[in-house]
Structure 1
Amino acid sequence: MSGGVDSSVAAHLLLDAGHDVVGVFMRHSDESSAVCKVDDQAASTSLPVLGGMASGRADHKQGCCTASDAADARRVATKMDIPFYALDLTDDFRRIVDYFVDDYLTGRTPNPCVRCNQWIKFGRLFDYADGIDAEFVATGHYARMEKAAGVNQLHRGLDSNKDQSYALFGIRRDRLDRMLLPVGGFEKPRIREIAEGLGLGVAGKKDSQEICFVTQGHHSDFVRARDPKRSANTDGEIVTTEGKVVGRHAGYEAFTVGQRKKLGVAMGEPYFVVRIEPDTRRVVIGRKESLERDGLTAGEANWLVDVGDVPQQVSVQIRYNGSPKPGTISIDPDSPDRFAVRFDQPELAVAPGQAAVVYDGTRVIGGGWIE
């Protein structure tokens, strides 16, 4: 329970379906913000009940896991009369932050939300569920679990504008039988209506859309503060795809493939980041057509089906807010954790470090990380 409308309504739907529900809030800490504080004196179990929390955030970004979110989650749990605990994942979340910083400093574009789902929300939460003999782990993600021929399958959410199945591809296959996604079969306006009708006090709450640990400024400011030694040597030239030097940048960690705004140079027409070269410290820019790619390769694959059952013709989504594009997939027979995709039509801004998620219709069948 994050304190948002989706997980709050998910808890209600589970109760309505007859489940015994335990609310869990994931708390973490970071030097850049004081959030999710807990009064450990109030703890009555090994996982402390939240208490004594301050409100607010270091800025106005709408993230998640803040102290005010925790207070909202606790109020909802109290109203529903369900147990509510804070799970201290400070050490686990540090892994997410380190991954985020390292990817930017190696010229990649990280996706911490996908990693968080893989390592924490559908990773560590299962450890806690096992510890209290809970049968299922449920969240407020907009994706659906469907059973066909006795097999639980992960599918896109009913609301195409809110679908979050992309962010769930990294879940272990053997955990699909224990996943519940109660809001995935609803459209977002209906979820807000349910919350309003229940008087939960979170019906109008904004969706979390920011990186929750980057509480102030640009992500590059966070990276530099987190690892000042490595980021001290990332400045360099801005060059065109033709090799012409057109400017300088203060650090390539401030750029991502496909970026158009805040390039720091005026070209007289739209230019985009085409690639980042950490070895030369160059940021290469070009016109939109320079972003076109016929395909991609990906590693660290996670398959939710038997590899032999992956169809040759699939759809592949390469960014969170994108849409799956048709293409042909080939999986390395000697190393099934790697695969290649050739798109039916060239795709723009294939960014190393982002997830490439593979669909068969609406079903998520796996994915990997773009190389």
Structure 2
Amino acid sequence: MSGGIDSSVSALLLRRQGHDVVGVFLRNGVRHPPGASAKRGCCSIEDAWDARRVADRLDIPFYALNFEEAFGRIVDYFVGEYDRGATPNPCVVCNRDLKFGRLFDYADAIGAEFVATGHYARVERNSRAVLHRGADPRKDQSYFLFPLRQEQLARTMFPVGGMEKSEVRALAREAGLRVAEKPESMEICFVPDDDYRRLLRERIPGRLREGAFVTTSGEVVGRHGGHQLFTIGQRKGLGVALGRPAYVVAIDAESNTVVLGEERDLERANLVAREVNWIAAEPRLGDAIDAEVKIRYNHAGAEARVEPLEGGRARVVFAAPQRAIARGQAAVFYRGDEVLGGGWIE
């Protein structure tokens, strides 16, 4: 229970279905910077109180677990990815390591059969567990769940996954839950002011060194304050004027160089993913499959051929070039509503 509307309604639905429900809040130990809103992220002190009040109203036990040390490793991963010139996806890592990792350990410790969350996704269980998109396409969160394995999905419930967001909010109002009108959390929970560069300056000030902006032809056109402060596809906030629109098309962490180019320079027709997790069925090596592939959460998805490779990798070849494929992001494979699997873009 994060203190938000989705996990609160999930607990409500499970309670109404007759389950014995235990509410759990994950404390991440994040201290909000002065002036930052603690209400738009998640896992703040205010969120903990909201979750506890909902649990009290539903008459279920409630526990706040201290995951500060484990969560600190996610923040370290986030900073480390930028430092190596990649674009991190901390929500996927948090799901893998905490919500469907450490939380399962706690479930085992108290004898809980299932773990339920407020994610907009669905699980179908027959001989194998199959992960599907959430019924509300605008809120679908299946992209963030691609690392989940069979033993986890077999014990996972997504009570609001088959609902529209408007239905969830209406149900919260009808039940008199205080979170019914609570705004959604939009930012990364440990970057509540949405300024990840501030976090980098705090965490790795000695690593942020002046470097060169270069064009795709190698011409030096300006200076920057550290490659870590930029992402693939970025156009705004570059601090350099070329007299034409310029985009970050490549980042070389070793030389601390940021490469600028035109929008067309962002297009790529293929990628290789590592640490690929096939959820319900793994194709044989060399057997390419047709899939829709998303290269970031807000990507519409694109037709592609996905070929499993040795070492837990996969090659993705798109039917048409895609814009701003970023190392460190996740490539997630779909067939219709089913999530086939996914991996990390190299």
Same fold (TM over 0.5): yes
The answer to whether structure 1 residue 208 and structure 2 residue 185 are counterparts is yes
The alignment of Structure 1 onto Structure 2 pairs a total of residues equal to 343
Contact 2:187/2:194 (8 A) holds in 1: no
Contact 1:101/1:223 (8 A) holds in 2: yes
Structure 1 residue corresponding to 2:173, chosen from 196, 199, 206 = 196
Q: Which residue of 1 aligns with 2:207?
A: 230
The answer to whether structure 1 residue 251 and structure 2 residue 226 are counterparts is yes
Separation in structure 1 between the aligned mates of residue 13 and residue 32 of structure 2, nearest angstrom: 33
The answer to whether structure 1 residue 358 and structure 2 residue 333 are counterparts is yes
Separation in structure 1 between the aligned mates of residue 197 and residue 41 of structure 2, nearest angstrom: 17
The answer to whether structure 1 residue 271 and structure 2 residue 249 are counterparts is no
Name the stretch that deviates more: 280-289 or 20-29: 280-289
CA distances 1:214-263 after superposition (whole Å, capped 9, x unpaired): 244621221121123333x3x21112222222221111111110112111
Secondary structure at 1:99 match in 2: helix
The answer to whether structure 1 residue 73 and structure 2 residue 71 are counterparts is no
Moved over 6 A (4+): none
Alignment of 1:55-94 (within 5 A): 58-60=35-37, 62-94=40-72
Alignment of 1:96-111 (within 5 A): 96-111=74-89
Q: Which residue of 1 aligns with 2:146?
A: 169
Tell me how far 1:33 sits from its aligned partner.
3.0
Tell me how far 1:58 sits from its aligned partner.
4.8
Contact 2:10/2:160 (8 A) holds in 1: yes
Amino acid at match of 1:21: V
Contact 1:108/1:256 (8 A) holds in 2: yes
Amino acid at match of 2:109: G
Separation in structure 2 between the aligned mates of residue 311 and residue 242 of structure 1, nearest angstrom: 35
Structure 1 residue corresponding to 2:116, chosen from 138, 143, 149 = 138
Q: Give the direction of change, closer, same or farther, for the CA distance of 1:311–1:206 in structure 2 (3 Å limit).
A: farther
CA distances 1:58-106 after superposition (whole Å, capped 9, x unpaired): 5126111000011100110000000000111011101101101111000
Q: Which residue of 2 aligns with 1:8?
A: 8
Secondary structure at 2:86 match in 1: coil
Separation in structure 2 between the aligned mates of residue 186 and residue 283 of structure 1, nearest angstrom: 43
Amino acid at match of 1:3: G
Separation in structure 1 between the aligned mates of residue 345 and residue 283 of structure 2, nearest angstrom: 21
What 5-or-longer segments of structure 2 have no aligned partner? none
Separation in structure 1 between the aligned mates of residue 242 and residue 100 of structure 2, nearest angstrom: 45
Contact 2:129/2:280 (8 A) holds in 1: no
Separation in structure 2 between the aligned mates of residue 319 and residue 267 of structure 1, nearest angstrom: 28
Q: Which residue of 1 aligns with 2:26?
A: 26
Tell me how far 1:190 sits from its aligned partner.
1.1
| TM-score, structure 1 normalization | 0.89
Q: Which residue of 1 aligns with 2:94?
A: 116
Q: Which residue of 2 aligns with 1:293?
A: 268
Q: Which residue of 2 aligns with 1:319?
A: 296
RMSD: 1.6
Tell me how far 1:13 sits from its aligned partner.
0.9
The answer to whether structure 1 residue 280 and structure 2 residue 255 are counterparts is yes
Q: Give the direction of change, closer, same or farther, for the CA distance of 1:254–1:363 in structure 2 (3 Å limit).
A: same
Contact 1:331/1:340 (8 A) holds in 2: yes
Amino acid at match of 1:259: Q
Contact 2:187/2:193 (8 A) holds in 1: no
Amino acid at match of 1:286: G
Amino acid at match of 1:4: G
| TM-score, structure 2 normalization | 0.95
Contact 1:252/1:278 (8 A) holds in 2: yes
Contact 1:173/1:303 (8 A) holds in 2: no
Q: Which residue of 1 aligns with 2:307?
A: 330
CA distances 1:347-369 after superposition (whole Å, capped 9, x unpaired): 11000000111112111111110
Contact 1:58/1:215 (8 A) holds in 2: no
Separation in structure 2 between the aligned mates of residue 173 and residue 343 of structure 1, nearest angstrom: 28
Tell me how far 1:311 sits from its aligned partner.
6.2
Separation in structure 2 between the aligned mates of residue 215 and residue 359 of structure 1, nearest angstrom: 31
Tell me how far 1:173 sits from its aligned partner.
2.3
Tell me how far 1:308 sits from its aligned partner.
2.6
Separation in structure 1 between the aligned mates of residue 291 and residue 283 of structure 2, nearest angstrom: 14
Structure 2 residue corresponding to 1:125, chosen from 103, 115, 118 = 103
Q: Give the direction of change, closer, same or farther, for the CA distance of 1:321–1:217 in structure 2 (3 Å limit).
A: closer
Contact 2:5/2:180 (8 A) holds in 1: yes
